[in-house]
A and B are shown apart, each in its own frame.
Chain A
């Protein structure tokens, strides 16, 4: 029987990452943010008054959320070729929302 050797893209090689697309980064970053959230939420529950943890929680929630909105607008028919623009808008929106909320002293 013929050998069925098949090449797979390996994350461990630089070559595999050299041409990673905007849409792929958006997907990946949203997952990484979700993993980060698990850790930060645990820390926040342990002590809710640590400012750096509050900042990390706000930043990750916003980042994860806007990337989720990006997925939703794609689901509703925005062209997939707008990947780069959508990723850029998501990052900018998250950053702007972070600055606004963080500067808003509510206590």
Chain B
């Protein structure tokens, strides 16, 4: 099995470097990368943590599609060389490792953080949203985001418009806008109507197709847009 791995570091030219890996049954792309690093090239940089499909830190572009390396079996990829690149739309640090700062910056830019209502800020005062409640069910899938950044890599609009918050941040905003304990609905609602926010999503669905947690940020964005239109016409706050 041949791996063609994107290599780049500050001060060097980018290139695809070939590595030969002895593929075994049940071997994942991450296993192959670890084998290369241990046996033939200790300078190869890539990121991983849990190895079992929970943390999302091994997200990369495998044969043109965003996937997590730890859950991608070599046997499920088409025959031929496997091309590995770092996530798109994130600044590179080295080889397959990217700087995830834009994900955090975009979250902050659209206030994708929980702002509790005043009555819940006192010590000992908290609200419960039952797991079976409609409020919880509406956002049930969307809250599972692990912040891997694959959706931001797959989104063409993130690549074209630096001010577009992208699927992950807007999916987070969707969960907050539907949270009855949150105090910033109105503030975020005004922001969402901006030219580079909800209107910039073209509904291509690339984010939904690559999300390893099977979240649909497209649906979250469209739900926010429906609410924003009602707000625009004064039907809802």
Contact = CB atoms under 8 A, between A and B. Distances in A.
Contact of B202 (A6, A7, A17, A27): A27
B35 interface: no
A2 B222 contact: no
A50 B11 CA distance: 60
Contact of B204 (A6, A16, A23, A77): A23
Contacts of A80: 203, 205, 208, 216, 218-219, 222
Interface in A1-32: 2-9, 15-19, 21-24, 26-27
A46 B10 CA distance: 58
Contacts, number: 85
A52 interface: no
A19 B203 contact: no
Contacts of B218: 23, 74, 80
Interface of A: 2-9, 15-19, 21-24, 26-27, 71, 74-77, 79-81, 83
Interface of B: 6, 8, 10-11, 14, 63-65, 83, 85-92, 156, 159, 202-206, 208-209, 216, 218-219, 222-223, 225-226
